[in-house]
Amino acid sequence: MAKRLFDLLFGSIGVVLSAPIVLLSGICIRVSSPGPVFYPARRVGRYGVPFTMWKLRTMHVQNGNSSSITAPDDERVFAFGRLIRNLKIDELPQFWNVVRGDLSIVGPRAEAPEIVENFYTSWMRETLSVRPGLTSPGAIYNYIMADRLLDPGDPEMSYVNELMPAKLALERAYLERASLRRDLMYIGLTVWAIVGRALGFNARLPESDIARAQVWASEGLFRGL
């Protein structure tokens, strides 16, 4: 109950404070690329129940199926879309998901249904026992490491083999120590990671997070942190 009240408070504040940024970004999206402003991403939520996670659209509208994993320099992403992806502005509509109860502010990052169905192991599925979050230690890891580890030629399988195990190990370890204090720390680390990318340096996850995550994934997967 305390976590839900925290989410409602900060989610509501986030909706109000981000509204001008979302509005301005929406205008720039319409000018940059034909199509809708928002992108409805299908994701797996708590207890494996699918939901729609809202984002600002950062890719050109395409027909047919395409990978849910975005590779570095992905040609589907238009220039303004790349800017707001790097600054995480495209995620701001998800404050509405928080208010609705689909997401928490902090929790394991929601995954695409096809990734969960085809590649999640039993311990990975344990991360579905709580609401997914806007941010998390795994999301921070993904933000820091994706450009280094994703193969543009096969982004989905490089994600599954190189990024996802360490990311979900960090999420699984988070479940063992989740608390309001730690959630505030991850919110701060997320802001620091975004600032770091803008200024040309990498944020670091706490060594204690990495040590606990190595129970679930091999030490070698955390190289570069």
73 confidence band (pLDDT: 50, 70, 90): confident
* Domain housing 26: 2-222
**Between vectors from CA 156 to CA 216 and to CA 58, what angle results, nearest 5°?**
115
Q: What is the pLDDT of residues 129-157, one digit of tens each?
A: 999 999 999 999 999 998 888 888 888 99
Residue type, 218: S
Number of domains in the chain: 1
Q: What is the pLDDT of residues 181-203, one digit of tens each?
A: 999 999 999 999 999 988 888 88
On whether the CB atoms of residues 130 and 100 are closer than 8 A, the answer is no
Residue type, 73: D
Q: What is the pLDDT of residues 20-66, one digit of tens each?
A: 999 999 999 999 999 999 999 999 999 999 999 999 999 998 765 66
Give the other-Cβ count within 10 Å of 210's Cβ.
21
- The whole-angstrom separation of Cα 100 and Cα 117 is 25
CA count, 13 A, side-chain hemisphere, 181: 1
